């Protein structure tokens, strides 16, 4: 059971004070009856809540796909400018699942589901992360062999990664660990530099190309189920 105003706020209808006013003004029904008090308890599994006659679905967790723009820090509020400030939704406790460098763009999952985040970030799970990568110096066959076999550089080891050539100066790289500056350092180890980096996939969640940098949308049910599947 959950308070009606909390239910509506967490479902994204508005802020707590906006939904309280909406309840007072008679916009909200529970099981077909106008609800007059914000502190009525709602059974989130059985009661039907409507706002202006539209059903409002409650979900404890939210899952957002953000196309992270350059210049933003992958952290919760408190850092400036941070990716959570890009999410104009009334949800609290959102955080990014993993980190992209400040100058990296692309797919970042934002949620308040700590369990799923833990699963996706667990080193044991070896979740695939695919990056579109532009580089300053073309790689040769020997370099590509090193990427595919794993790289040791400055006392750090990087597990074998998948390499797909796009052009002399661009490729996709798929890694299964989440080490700090992983792609940049692998490329640096080979005598080249990353000039542009964009994450395009995490596990089976693919960045929606309709999202411009800074834009986001909620995951579809299918995307979420795929992400949760072992």
The minimum distance between CB 97 and ligand URA, in angstroms, equals 13
Q: What is the DSSP string of 183-211?
A: HHHHHHHTT--EEEEEEEEETTEE--TTS
The residue written with tokens 């994204």 in the block is: 12
Question: Of these, 8, 13, 183, 207, which contacts ligand URA (CB under 6 A)?
Answer: 183
The answer to whether 73 and 92 have CB atoms below 8 angstroms apart is no
**Residue 45 appears among annotated catalytic residues:** no
The answer to whether 135 and 171 have CB atoms below 8 angstroms apart is yes
Choose between 42 and 108: whose C-beta lies nearer to ligand URA. Answer: 108
Q: What are phi and psi of 183, to 5 degrees?
A: -65, -45
Structure tokens at 209: 């190309």
166 alpha-carbon distance from chain centroid = 26
The minimum distance between CB 116 and ligand URA, in angstroms, equals 20
Choose between 10 and 182: whose C-beta lies nearer to ligand URA. Answer: 182
The minimum distance between CB 165 and ligand URA, in angstroms, equals 19
Choose between 20 and 129: whose C-beta lies nearer to ligand URA. Answer: 129
The minimum distance between CB 161 and ligand URA, in angstroms, equals 11
Which one of the listed residues 101, 113, 168, 226 is annotated catalytic? Answer: 101
Helix (H) or strand (E) run with residue 98 in it? none
Q: Does 184 bind ligand URA (CB under 6 A)?
A: yes
User: How many residues contact ligand URA, by CB under 6 A?
Assistant: 8
Q: Does 182 bind ligand URA (CB under 6 A)?
A: yes
Q: Which stretch binds ligand URA (CB under 6 A): 39-47, 76-84, 142-150, 182-190?
A: 182-190
Extended beta strands in 12-103, E state: 28-30, 33-34, 41-42, 49-51, 54-55, 63-68, 95-96
Buried b (16+ CB within 10 A) or exposed e, 23-42: beeebbbbeeeebeebebeb
Q: Which of residues 10-69 bind ligand URA (CB under 6 A)?
A: none
Binding mask 196-225 for ligand URA (x = CB under 6 A): -x----------------------------
The answer to whether 203 and 128 have CB atoms below 8 angstroms apart is yes
Q: Which of residues 95-134 bind ligand URA (CB under 6 A)?
A: 100-101, 104
Task: Name the site residues for ligand URA (rule: CB under 6 A).
Answer: 100-101, 104, 181-184, 197
Which of the residues are catalytic? Answer: 101
């Amino acid at each position: 059971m959950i308070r009606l105003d909390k239910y509506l706020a967490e479902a994204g209808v508005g802020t707590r004070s906006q939904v309280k006013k909406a309840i007072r003004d008679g916009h909200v029904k529970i099981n077909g009856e106008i609800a007059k008090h914000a502190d009525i308890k709602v059974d989130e599994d059985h009661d039907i809540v409507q706002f202006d006659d539209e059903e409002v679905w409650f979900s404890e967790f939210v899952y957002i796909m953000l196309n992270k723009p350059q210049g933003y820090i992958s952290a919760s509020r408190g850092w400036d400018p941070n990716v959570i400030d890009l999410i104009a939704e009334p949800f609290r406790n959102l955080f990014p699942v993993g980190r992209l460098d400040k100058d990296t763009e692309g797919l970042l999952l934002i949620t308040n589901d700590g369990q799923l985040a833990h699963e996706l970030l667990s080193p044991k799970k070896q979740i695939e992360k695919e990056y579109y990568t532009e580089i300053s110096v073309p790689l040769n066959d020997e370099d590509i062999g090193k990427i595919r076999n794993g790289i040791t550089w400055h006392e750090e080891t990087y597990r074998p990664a998948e390499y797909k050539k796009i052009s002399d100066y661009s490729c996709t790289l798929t890694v299964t660990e989440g080490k700090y500056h992983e792609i940049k350092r692998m490329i640096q180890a080979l005598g080249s530099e990353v000039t542009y980096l964009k994450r395009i996939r995490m596990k089976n969640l693919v960045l929606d190309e309709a999202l411009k940098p800074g834009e986001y949308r909620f995951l579809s049910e299918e995307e979420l189920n795929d992400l949760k599947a072992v």
